[in-house]
């Protein structure tokens, strides 16, 4: 019997189209947002995302949390004309709006964590022991995928597979149509149920997958389905699905990054052809985002030379992007070669950039040397910063 998890990681972040904001996305940790419960059935784990429970404080509808944005605003010269000042004011307003949005998203993420923890405590304190108790619970929390999935697991633990399927169908009919994430959680649980107990499994799970495509965001469903294949080590089916996704969502940076990640994880060749094909398919404004994150994957997969080559390429074209310098430096700092790190810092601080960007680089350099505990090198960095200030 295949290794199975009862739900998939479905927290798909919304892509940012702007290449001004580069996140050091840890694509390989995509599944970290899901909460995992262990079923009493040997070998069966239950994963799910947040489930809103009306028994708890009234929670807002779930929403995926976009990646952290890193914005760098330019400091222009004092003698710029009126039109340049107006442009800077508009830019400052935009950055302020983005900052407010990030704060709201962080607050919502914190609420999500609190709700998840409360739901777990609630069930741990008063675990339903029979179907009647579960029925009361789903009536009190009809939109909570958390509760429905626990109910399905209870039935599977009792070896009543048909009842578990019936509960999945009830959940899909009951959960409010606006609760997209909750519904998707149930579809993913349904995928895993059929993947383990379907007859035959491949055909049964495909039928559920095709149904889910009609009701949920297609890209999210594909990623959820792919996650199920990867966790149950059905690599051939996972690769076939990735090929289809590359054709269907060819303008998606996330899809191409997942292909690169899969090749690196499976230690297969062919990363460079995939990168080249991605750059042909992706809109130009997504190229920097894709290349920088693919380079991060190369560093983390133990191929730093290819990662360096990618970063060097985009920095030749975009030498003033301090966000790219910062990400590049972070990867080298993780590897720990001090000579390489200091050489890269020296290159960065020798650039001719606006004062605010130079302050960022000098501060990062000083913090690195302070973490090494070398006071003489810290003084050296501070002196270089003073020399820069005196030169402008």
Q: What is the pLDDT of residues 187-208, one digit of tens each?
A: 999 999 999 998 898 999 999 9
pLDDT at 270: 84
Interatomic CA distance for residues 122 and 116, integer angstroms = 10
Average pLDDT over residues 104-123: 67
Extract the tokens encoding 382.
């501070």
Angle at 175 between CA 174 and CA 177, to 5 degrees: 115
Residue 283's pLDDT band, with cuts at 50, 70 and 90, is very high
Write the pLDDT tens digit of every residue in 39-49.
433 334 434 33
Give strand pairing partners of 38.
45
Q: Which residue has the higher pLDDT, 202 or 55?
A: 202
Q: What is the pTM of this model?
A: 0.68
Confidence of residue 72 (pLDDT cuts 50, 70, 90): very low
Separation between Cα atoms, residue 224 and residue 182, nearest integer Å: 13
Given a cut of 90, is residue 311 above it in pLDDT? Answer: yes
Q: In the predicted model, is pLDDT for residue 162 greater than 50?
A: yes
The tokens for 260 are 């690169």
187 burial type by CB count under 10 A (0-12 exposed, 13-18 middle, 19+ buried): buried
Beta strand residue intervals within the chain, DSSP E: 35-38, 45-48
Mean pLDDT of the 56-70 span: 37
Supply the DSSP string of 311-352, one letter for each residue. HHHHHHH-TT-HHHHHHHHHHHHHHT-HHHHHHHHHHHHTS-
Residue 178: left if φ>0, alpha if ψ -120 to 50, beta else—which one? alpha
Angle at the Cα of 205 (from 36 to 145), degrees rounded to 5?
Answer: 35
Residue 54 has pLDDT above 70, yes or no: no
> Rounded distance, CA 56 to CA 122, Å?
9
Residue 383 has pLDDT above 90, yes or no: yes
269's CB contacts (< 8 A; 6+ apart) are 263
């Amino acid at each position: 019997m295949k290794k199975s998890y009862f739900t998939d990681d479905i927290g798909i972040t919304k892509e940012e189209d702007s290449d001004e904001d580069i996140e050091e996305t840890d694509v390989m940790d995509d599944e970290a947002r899901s909460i995992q419960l262990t079923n009493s059935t040997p070998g069966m784990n239950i994963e799910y995302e947040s489930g809103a429970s009306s028994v708890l404080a009234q929670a807002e509808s779930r929403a995926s949390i976009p990646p952290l944005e890193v914005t760098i605003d330019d400091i222009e010269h004092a003698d710029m004309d009126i039109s340049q000042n107006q442009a800077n004011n508009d830019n400052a307003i935009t950055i302020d709006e983005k900052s407010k949005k990030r704060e709201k998203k962080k607050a919502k993420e914190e609420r999500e964590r609190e709700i998840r923890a409360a739901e777990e405590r609630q069930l741990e304190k008063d675990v339903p022991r029979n179907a009647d108790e579960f029925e009361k619970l789903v009536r009190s929390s009809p939109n909570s995928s958390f509760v429905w999935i626990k109910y399905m697991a209870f039935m599977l633990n009792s070896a009543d597979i048909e009842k578990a399927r019936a509960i999945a169908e009830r959940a899909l009919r009951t959960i409010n149509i606006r609760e997209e994430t909750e519904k998707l959680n149930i579809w993913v649980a349904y995928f895993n149920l059929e993947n383990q107990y379907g007859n035959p499994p491949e055909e049964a799970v495909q039928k559920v997958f095709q149904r889910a495509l009609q009701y949920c965001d297609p890209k999210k469903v594909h990623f959820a389905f792919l996650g199920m294949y990867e966790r149950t080590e059905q690599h051939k089916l996972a690769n076939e699905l990735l090929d289809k996704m590359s054709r269907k969502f060819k303008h998606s940076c996330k899809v191409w990054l997942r292909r690169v990640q899969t090749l690196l994880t499976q230690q297969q060749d062919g990363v460079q052809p995939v990168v080249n094909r991605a750059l042909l398919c992706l809109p130009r404004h997504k190229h920097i985002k894709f290349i920088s994150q693919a380079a991060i994957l190369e560093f983390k997969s133990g191929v730093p030379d290819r990662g360096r080559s990618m970063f060097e390429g985009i920095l030749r074209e975009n030498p003033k992007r301090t966000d790219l310098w910062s990400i590049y430096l972070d990867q080298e700092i993780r590897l720990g070669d001090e000579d390489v790190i200091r050489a890269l810092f020296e290159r960065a601080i020798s650039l001719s950039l606006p004062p605010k960007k130079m302050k960022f680089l000098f501060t990062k350099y000083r913090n690195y040397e302070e973490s090494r505990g070398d006071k003489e090198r810290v003084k050296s960095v501070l002196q270089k910063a003073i020399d820069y200030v005196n030169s402008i």
